Structure 1
């Protein structure tokens, strides 16, 4: 597979749509569509920029999960506290800002930050890191009018039950699974 060219087809407020033209293994051209959160100035930019982070947060042996309405799937799902890096913002600043905005909680300690990985490789070059952290404080709602989020801490038993029937984002689901297994 060889990438021949890239063309921007739509420049949205949050997403940029691109058509990639590949030469496939049979030597024929194949057009593939992707979206990116970042402006791509050339082929060499695809998949290079880190967009944001997801926070796997714990407090006194409990896991922080958000119940939030996600417009992209038109339903409430369990998710991690997460957000996009703003221009010039450090990872720690982003963690603190997103925790405060989505939950009212405060960062106590960063345990680890995994290298950025692709969030949805079938449709996007978006790369985000997973942060493992301890958090503290009281829940407060600082979300915008365009967000609906209920944040709370869950015990292992509660998470185990949620995994049986609740809808999750894929990252939140895998974090929840390993939390129940005692790996967090």
Structure 2
């Protein structure tokens, strides 16, 4: 961390404690000595899984997203429980949402979704070794499972049916790996 860019927290106040996020207002001292306010969303983090079937299809879900007021197509993903191991969460979420269990799974990367105002870190995993398990979705979770080729996924991006960063990242990752060999 570069000390010359550091913002010192002077005070903080929790504005909202929710089931998924907390909103915190921080007063900070800027590097030039002036002060400012930062609205920060604290999130426990999430996982997302790039899953490819034996027939070389990408497993996706179609789900309504209330903040967008529309459905979008995404790779399977889910929120970490406080203190939960991301690998364990990835295996659980993939099976709960799609009915597929990974026989093998590997970490790909992690990234911050919106570091300007949130601390959410998403851990991305990859598997192309799947077996059937059991769907066990949350009571408030309604979605359709899709299996598409890499070319079909690219067309969904062009049509903005795939419209989120983690899924676009997943498709690019598969392309860079040489497709679904």
Query: Into which bin does the TM-score normalised by the smaller protein fall?
Result: 0.7 to 0.9
Q: Does 1:57 align with 2:51?
A: yes
CA contact (8 A) 1:69 1:77 kept: yes
CA contact (8 A) 2:95 2:101 kept: yes
Q: Does 1:18 align with 2:12?
A: no
CA contact (8 A) 1:159 1:180 kept: no
Q: Does 1:37 align with 2:31?
A: no
> Given the two structures, how large is their TM-score scaled by the length of structure 1?
0.80
RMSD: 2.3
Unpaired runs of 5+ residues, structure 2, are 1-5
**Which of 127, 150, 156 is 2:150 aligned to?**
156
How many aligned positions are there? 171
In the TM superposition, what whole-angstrom CA distance separates every residue of 1:141-182 from its partner, at most 9, and x where no partner exists? Answer: 532342221112211221121121123211101212343453
CA contact (8 A) 1:139 1:152 kept: no
Supply the distance in 1 between the matched residues of 2:27 and 2:109 (Cα, whole angstroms).
Answer: 29
1:6-155 → structure 2 map (5 Å cutoff): 6-38=12-44, 51-60=45-54, 61-87=56-82, 89-110=84-105, 112-137=106-131, 141-155=135-149
Unpaired runs of 5+ residues, structure 1, are 39-50
CA contact (8 A) 1:160 1:180 kept: no
> Given the two structures, how large is their TM-score scaled by the length of structure 2?
0.81
CA contact (8 A) 2:100 2:132 kept: yes
